[in-house]
Structure 1
């Protein structure tokens, strides 16, 4: 369940990154990669901090 949620979130963020890049007149692929990379990093760090402090999953 958790893996599918993370995957669905990353797909949605990639789509939004592409839409934002297209709307701003930038190249779509770098926009998708940038949003997906930083979002993955933020989710990973949030999960690590939550695990370190004993947050329930």
Structure 2
């Protein structure tokens, strides 16, 4: 990218007990996003965390 912008195409998504979904953060690489999702998931709460790329499943 020549214009100095940073692309963060990977999202960590959280779903709570009621099925509500939230964006937790945006990351440059899938590995970085997965590391965050795994660390949050390992806390033992009932929330579900996963990684999606922007543009998948209608997310923009």
TM-score by shorter chain over 0.5: no
User: Which TM-score applies when normalising by structure 2?
Assistant: 0.30
Instruction: Identify which of structures 1 and 2 has the higher relative contact order when contacts are C-alpha pairs closer than 8 Å and 6+ apart.
Output: 2
Q: Higher strand proportion, which one?
A: 2
Q: Higher helix proportion, which one?
A: 1
User: Which TM-score applies when normalising by structure 1?
Assistant: 0.32
